[in-house]
Each structure stands twice: as structure tokens, then as C-alpha cells.
Amino acid sequence: MSSAAPSISACPACVAAPAAEAVAARRAEKATGLILSLPTAHCAACISDVERTLAAMPGVTSARVNLTLKRVSVAAGPEVTADDVIARLKTIGYPAHELDPGLLSVTETDKRGRDLLMRLGVAGFAMMNIMLLSVAVWSGAEAATRDLFHWISAAIALPTLAFAGQPFFASAWTSLKARRLGMDVPISLALILASTVSLYETFEGGRHAYFDAAVSLCFFLLAGRYLDYRSRAAARSAAEELAALEVPRATKVEGGEEKIVPIAELAVGDLVRVRPGARMPVDGTVTEGASEIDRSLLTGETLPVWAGEGSVVSAGEVNLTGPLTVRVSAAGRDSSLHRMADLVAVAENARTKYTSLADRMARAYSPSVHLLALSAFTAWMYLTWDLRLSVNIAAAVLIITCPCALALAVPAVVTSASGKLFRKGFLIKDGTALERLAEVDTVIFDKTGTLTLGAPEPLDLSEWPRAHLEIVAALAEASSHPLSRALAGALSATGIRRASVTDIREVPGSGVEGRWRGTTVRLGRAEWLGAEPGARTATWFGKGDGAPVEFAFADSPRPGAEEAVRALIAAGKDVFLLSGDGEAPVAALARTLGIPVWQSGMRPEEKAARVAALTEEGHRVLMVGDGLNDTAALAGAHVSISPATALDAARTASDIVLLGQDLSPLPDALRIAQIARRRIKQNFGLSLAYNVVAVPVALVGLATPLIAALAMSASSITVSLNALRLR
């Protein structure tokens, strides 16, 4: 009995407590699930490789790859960290990145899509059944049989419309409340009027009932709506994924102890440690340590800048060589990075809202449809004084003009075009970006990180004596500075062996030092070696007391950049290069790529002003850039593209994200956008042409349900097929 005693409690909450604990434990288990991005997964073998390897890891309970989203979700015990999983995946050749599950609102977006799909399915099944019955009526069922079929149709159609039509009714209601006439108002009116009239006709034993037309209208429109949703959701989930790649945490130093905290919890005056290779999470002043800082994302300059005690750093800069302790002067919302992002948001709102082709069409469409139905009704009332006939004809006009084809025209084209662009590595973030891309006549490029990879390559290695290079290889190997890494990579590629250098140590903010055959050898900054720094990106090498020598670097152009520029110029676009970097590297790059007009040393405001001036002159500008110095220009341009490696603020400001390294598909993207725009216009033409034929038929009262069904399906199918031609 005593074992049962604890369950007899004084309060109900005590009884509930263990159950609540169990629930909490289950939640905690779920919370250890990891989501990783797997950009290279593409085939059946990838799925089984990844899943089998991860399932064999101790502590992992399950792993499932989602190939559509290129992600793997791993359920694992708390002892398995994301780093373990990434390391394991790397050994079998799959690069992976951790995603912040909090930022991926997976369930939320999924729910809307599934909801639409469910309504689409219900409408589809109802449509099939009603069509079966309608075929019997069309082929000559009479009297009692016809009435029976109409009644069965009504029994299927009315609940279906009430359920499947909800997205249209809801949106029509909101637009009516806001005193606007959207596309959904005529749709809802047609659905409601058609079912009421048909129900009345069925009561009276009439010959025509439009249940089939109403349900298939609903089905086709839902299909358009779902396509639209799908292309948006794909873009949004990828954008979320990009944002989720940067897990916003910082290492806070408190009483000599380091603690990892979310950036939101940092306050002014806190101390933050920033390791080499990490991005500054906050604005602040360096209180301890020395290092070099890469400002290229913020200013466009490629040369690293020395930072020591007292230097001011801002969020978004990359710490290169030594650990730094930074006293926070502005964090989170107040940091210069976020202030810039906020400015961009303001600029975006101020940008005159682009009205898409579909919107412009809808604005003219709904009033004219209502007017047409109303005049049909009045005219027939005046002629015949037959209310039933007049309402019937007005309903037929509304059904026949209803924008099946129109509502499918844009989503079908946009879905197939953005799918095609996605396979080429472009992610469309905004629905109207495709239309705006088609209008572009001027292209402005940023240099560092956009036309170039932002990763330096050593120049003229063959000029140096082999003995020198062997020592340099040994020193460069020991550092994680990007210049050293590039040097080490290039040397090992040419087959240089490493000399046996001992006592290698890294001097933060300066370089690497070691001993070779009794003499001190150094690789690092010019000032440290006692040399005069030049204009070029360079690292210096010194042996003993000998004069230091310079290893110069140049940023290599992005693959495909030259082809892209050439094709754009050939297509008759004006191409500009605007950079914040110094004159020499910009001029060299412009010459290599064949860009006629370039400008160096530009500040962010100057870039934005240039874009604004060109827009003023009537040009439609495409801005391609990646840094904080480009964000204002990106937001101000007609349409903008940034690479996936760009700063978060720049990606937010741009309409299209370039996922791969290669720039060569850029002219192709412009071409696809132009074709897509042409297809959309063709589709409008097609549905207009069908209205020109069908509307008079409805107006004179000859539109039977059979004609309505035929015309409606025919126009929807032609429009969809026309969109598919884009593939």
C-alpha cells in the first residue's frame, strides 16, 4: 500500500506535477534535435550515405534528410553537439552548417501550405464527382433524373464551396472593409451568386445549374493560389535559412570567466572576447589584445587594418589574427550594423511601391466585371421583366468572366521561372523582383566580394628562391590569417616542401615567428618587420637581419565574372564598377573584366547617390553588391542582387540572392526574367481573348453550364501550358 501512498495527495497540482515533468522531459528531448543545412545533397545515394552514417553515431536516435529543402534533421541525446555531426559529415564529404531552429519557423509556414493543399484536394474531388453527374445532364437527362442529379450536385457543391472557398471569402471581406476592390471580390461574388442561383433553379426544377462551374472555378483559383504560395514559401524558407546560418551569440567575459550569451543580453560596458576568425558582434573599443581586422564587408577596402588597445571596432568586421577583448559601446539594435539595416528598412518603405502587372490588371478588372454583370442584369430586366432570367444571366456573366486564367497566369509563370532560376543558383526573395529584373538597362557592380571572391591569391611565386619559399611555407602553415592560408595553399599546390622551422609562434596582430638553422625568420606585417608598407595587399618575409621582402596578393575575380560582364555589355546594358577600395586594384580589375566605367574610393552615400542619379535620368538600375557599404545602394536600386556570402544586412536589402560562386548565369537570369514577363503578358492576352469570345455569349443568354465549363477549363489549361513553355 505504501508504494501507492504518494499518489494520494492533498492538492490536484501535486498529482499533475509528475505528468507535467514527463511532458517537459519529452519537450527537452525534442529540443536537442539539430537541423543542419546540407547544400551538396542531391541524390538517392546522398540520402542513404548521410542517414546511415549519422544513425551509426553513438547517441543519435534518428536522422532524416529532406532533399527538397536540402536539410537533415537529427534527433540525438544532449551529448551530441552540432560540431560532432558536422565533423562526421565532413569525413564522408558533405559540408554541413548548423541552422538555428528558432529562426526556422518550419511548422508555421508548413501549416498554411497544407491548409491550402487540403482545400485544393477537397475542391478537386468534389469537382470530379459533380462533373460526372453534369455530363449526364449535358448529354440529355430529363425531368426527374435531371432534378435528382442537380440535388446531388448541390449536396456536394455547397459544403465544398463553404470549405474550399474560405481563402477567397476572407480576403474579399478584408478588402471590402478597407473599401477596396481586389481580385477576390468578383471571385467571391461569382461563387456565392452562382450557388444561390443554382440552388433556386434546382428548387424550381430548372434546366441549368452552375454547381460544376462554381466548384471548378474554386479549384482552378486554389491551384493558382497554391502555386503562388509555394514559390513564396521556397524563397522565404531559403532566406530564413541564410539568416539562421549566423547564430547570434557572443562570448562575454565576466569576472575572468567566459560565458556564451545571446547578443540580445549584452549591455553597454560589458566585456566581450572575440576569437580570431570571428565576426565582431558589437561596436566597441579594444581593451586587451592586438590583431588585424578585415573591414572589407563594411568599407570595401581589402587591406587588413591593425587593431590594438584603444582601437574602435564596429559590428560586422572580422577579427583576423589575435584574440581581442572589446568593451561594448553599442550592442544589438544600437550597433552600427543594425542602424544601417534600419536605414535600409526606411529606404525600402520610402521606395515607391512597385505595382506588379497582376495588380495593375486587377485594378481595372474587378470594377469592369461588376459593371458588366450589373448592366446585363438591368438590360435583361428592362427587356423582359423576368427577374429569374436576368439574375441567371448576370450570374453567367460573372462566372464566365471570372479570372481563372488571370489568377493562374502570373503564379504559373512566376513559379516556373523562379524554379528555373533557382536551378541556376538565384533565389528570388520578392514576387515582383522577376518583373523588375526584366526592365533593367544598367548594371552596377561592387568589387570586393561581388566581382571578386574576397579571398586573396599570392602573385608571382615563381620569382622567389626555393629555399625562401620552403621557410615561408612552414611559417604560413602555422597561422590562420587569410593571407597565410592563401600562401600556404598556393605553395603546397606548386609542390614546395616545408623547411624544418622550430619554435613557431604567432604574434597576434603582427605575424608568425620561428627559428630556422639558428636565425629568426618572420612572416607578417610590414611595420613589424621594419619595412615601408605599400599600397598593395601584401605580407612580408624577413630572415635574420636581411632586408624584408614582399609577397603581394591580388583578389581573384569570381568565376564567371568576365563572361557575365561581356554578355551584359553585348546585350546592350550599361555596366559600371563602383568600389570603396583604392584606385590601383579597382582599375586593374576593371581592365581584366572589360568594364568601361569604374570609380574607386567611393563612400556608401556616394554609391547610393550615384544609383539615385541614374534612376533620376530614367535608367532602371540593377545593383549587385555584398557589403554594408552597398546596402543603401541596394535598397535604392530598381532591383538588387547579393551573393549568399554577403552580410546579413545586404541580403535583407536585396531582392535576389545568388547562392553559388559563379556569376556567369547573371545575364541568363535577365533573359529568363524578360521571357517570363513576356509570358505573363501573353497569358493576359489569352484570357482577354477568351473573354472577348465568351462574354457576348453570356450577355445574350446563351451560356449554358456546358459552355461555361468548357471555356473555363480551356482557358486555364492554355495559360498553364504557356507558362510551362518557360522550362
Partner 1 sequence: MEMLVYLIPVSLLLGGIGLAAFLWSLKHRQYDDPDGDANRILSSDWDDHPKP
- Catalogue the active-site residues: 446
CB atoms within 10 A of CB 168: 27
**In whole angstroms, what is the distance from residue 301 CA to residue 581 CA?**
4
Rule CB under 8 A: is residue 47 a binding residue for partner 1? yes
Contact between 554 and partner 1 (CB under 8 A)?
no
Does 236 interact with partner 1 (rule: CB under 8 A)? no
200 beta partners: none
Nearer to partner 1, 117 or 531 (CB): 117
Residue 214's H or E segment, with its range, is helix 211-245
* Candidates 112-120, 315-323, 442-450, 704-712; binding stretch for partner 1 (CB under 8 A): 112-120
Least Cβ distance, residue 98 to partner 1 (angstroms): 20
- 395: exposed, middle or buried (Cβ count in 10 Å: 0-12, 13-18, 19+): buried
Choice between 74 and 473, CB closer to partner 1: 74
State how far the Cα of 494 lies from the Cα of 515, in Å rounded to an integer: 24
Q: Which is nearer to partner 1, 135 or 357 (CB)?
A: 135
Smallest gap from residue 575 Cβ to partner 1 (A): 37
Task: Please report, for residues 71, 133, 163, 404, 719, the alpha-carbon distance to residue 116 in angstroms, rounded to integers and kept in the order given.
Answer: 24, 26, 11, 17, 21
CA 139, CA 136: separation in Å to the nearest integer? 5
The binding track of 644-683 with respect to partner 1, each residue x by CB under 8 A or -, is: ----------------------------------------
Among positions 396-435, residues that touch partner 1 (CB under 8 A) are none
Find, among 266, 535, 204, the residue nearest to 392 by Cα: 204
Q: Any contact of residue 105 with partner 1 (CB under 8 A)?
A: no
d(CA 711, CA 705): 10
* Sign for the pseudo-dihedral over CA of 354, 359, 361, 365: negative
Query: Given the complex with partner 1, which of 145 and 500 has the nearer CB atom?
Result: 145
Interface with partner 1 (CB under 8 A), residue total 26
Q: Exposed/middle/buried for 16, CB within 10 Å: 0-12, 13-18, 19+? A: exposed
Distances (CA, A) of 375 to 193, 683, 695: 16, 27, 13
Pick the closest to residue 321 from 101, 191, 212, 478 (CA basis).
478
Q: How far apart are CA 139 and CA 80, in angstroms?
A: 68
Category of 351 on φ-ψ map: left (φ > 0), alpha (ψ -120 to 50) or beta: beta
**Closer CB to partner 1, residue 122 or residue 187?**
122
Q: Are strands 639-643 and 656-658 parallel, antiparallel or unpaired?
A: parallel
Q: Is 379 left (phi over 0), alpha (psi -120 to 50) or beta?
A: alpha
104 forms part of the interface with partner 1 (CB under 8 A) = no
C-alpha cell at 510: 603582427
Nearer to partner 1, 42 or 333 (CB): 42
The closest alpha carbon to 720, from 419, 434, 400, 412, belongs to 412
Near partner 1 by CB under 8 A: residue from 57, 117, 357, 717: 117
Q: How far is the CB of 86 from partner 1 (least distance, A)?
A: 21
Residue in 15, 17, 118, 587 binding partner 1, rule: CB under 8 A: 118
By CB under 8 A, is residue 464 in contact with partner 1? no
Maximum separation of any 2 CA atoms in the chain, in Å: 114
> Among 53, 81, 109, 129, which residue interacts with partner 1 (rule: CB under 8 A)?
129
Distances (CA, A) of 237 to 37, 115, 511: 12, 18, 42
Stretch that binds partner 1, among 15-23, 120-128, 180-188, 400-408 (CB under 8 A): 120-128
Instruction: Scan for cell 448541390, then name that residue.
Output: 154
Rounded to whole angstroms, how far apart are CA atoms 62 and 80?
Answer: 12
Mark the segment that binds partner 1 (CB under 8 A) among 38-46, 333-341, 359-367, 531-539: 38-46
Stretch that binds partner 1, among 22-30, 122-130, 197-205, 277-285 (CB under 8 A): 122-130
Q: Which residues inside 284-343 make contact with partner 1, applying CB under 8 A?
A: none
Kindly tell me which of 129 and 325 has the beta carbon lying closer to partner 1. 129
Calpha distance 210→213 (Å, rounded)? 5
- Residue 492 CB neighbour total at 10 angstroms: 14
- CA–CA separation, 138 and 92 (whole Å): 63
Report in angstroms how near the CB of residue 96 gets to partner 1 at its nearest: 16
Q: What's the min distance (Å) between Cβ of 67 and partner 1?
A: 3
Q: Binding partner 1 by CB under 8 A: which of 29, 82, 125, 531?
A: 125
CA distance 708 to 395: 11
- Site for partner 1, residues 152 to 191, rule: CB under 8 A: 152, 156
Q: Which of 121, 248, 533, 594 binds partner 1 (CB under 8 A)?
A: 121
Question: Closer CB to partner 1, residue 123 or residue 250?
Answer: 123
Q: Minimum CB separation from partner 1 for residue 176, in Å?
A: 31
Would you say 124 or 308 has its CB closer to partner 1?
124
Please say which residue, 160 or 722, places its beta carbon nearer to partner 1.
160
Of residues 569-628, which lie at the interface with partner 1 (CB under 8 A)?
Answer: none
688 binds partner 1 (CB under 8 A): no
**Residue number with CB closer to partner 1 (132 or 264):** 132
Residue 117 beta carbon to partner 1: minimum distance, rounded to whole angstroms: 6
| Shortest distance in whole angstroms from residue 38 CB to partner 1 | 11
CB of 604 to partner 1, least distance (A): 41
Question: What Rg value do the Cα atoms of the chain yield, rounded?
Answer: 33
| Residue 58, C-alpha cell as written in the block | 553513438
Alpha-carbon distance 402 to 415, whole Å? 22
Q: Does 110 bind partner 1 (CB under 8 A)?
A: yes
Provide the minimum distance between the beta carbon of 640 and partner 1 in the complex, in angstroms, as a whole number: 29
Q: Please state the closest distance from residue 123 (CB atom) to partner 1, in A.
A: 10
Q: Which of 43, 178, 267, 570 binds partner 1 (CB under 8 A)?
A: 43
Provide the grid cell at 702.
446563351
Scanning 118-126, 452-460, 580-588, 714-722 for contacts with partner 1 by CB under 8 A, the matching segment is 118-126
* Contact criterion met (CB below 8 Å) for 316 and 349: no
Extract the C-alpha cell encoding 722. Answer: 504557356
Torsion angles phi and psi, residue 544, rounded to 5: 55, -130
The verdict on 44 binding partner 1 (CB under 8 A) reads: yes
Does 92 bind partner 1 (CB under 8 A)? Our answer is: no
Region of 46-54, 214-222, 231-239, 718-726 interacting with partner 1 (CB under 8 A): 46-54
To partner 1, the closest distance from the beta carbon of 121 in angstroms equals 5
Question: Can you tell me whether residue 97 is helix, strand or coil?
Answer: strand
Q: Which is nearer to partner 1, 89 or 565 (CB)?
A: 89
Write the DSSP symbol of residue 379: H
48 binds partner 1 (CB under 8 A): yes
Task: Considering the complex, state which of residue 148 and residue 724 has its C-beta at the smaller distance from partner 1.
Answer: 148
Binding mask 52-91 for partner 1 (x = CB under 8 A): x------------xxxxx----------------------
Residue 279 DSSP SS3: strand
d(CA 215, CA 507): 75
User: Which whole-number Å values give the CA distances from 483 to 488, 504, 525, 575, in the listed order?
Assistant: 9, 17, 11, 31
Taking CB under 8 A as the rule, does residue 132 contact partner 1? yes
For the bound state, the minimum distance from the C-beta of residue 422 to partner 1, rounded and expressed in Å, comes to 12
Rounded to whole angstroms, the Cα distance separating 39 from 67 reads 10
What does the block give as the cell for 163? 470549405
According to CB under 8 A, which one of 1, 10, 19, 45 is a site residue for partner 1?
Answer: 45
Which residues lie near partner 1 (CB under 8 A)?
43-45, 47-48, 52, 65-69, 110, 114, 117-118, 121-122, 125, 128-129, 132-133, 145, 148, 152, 156
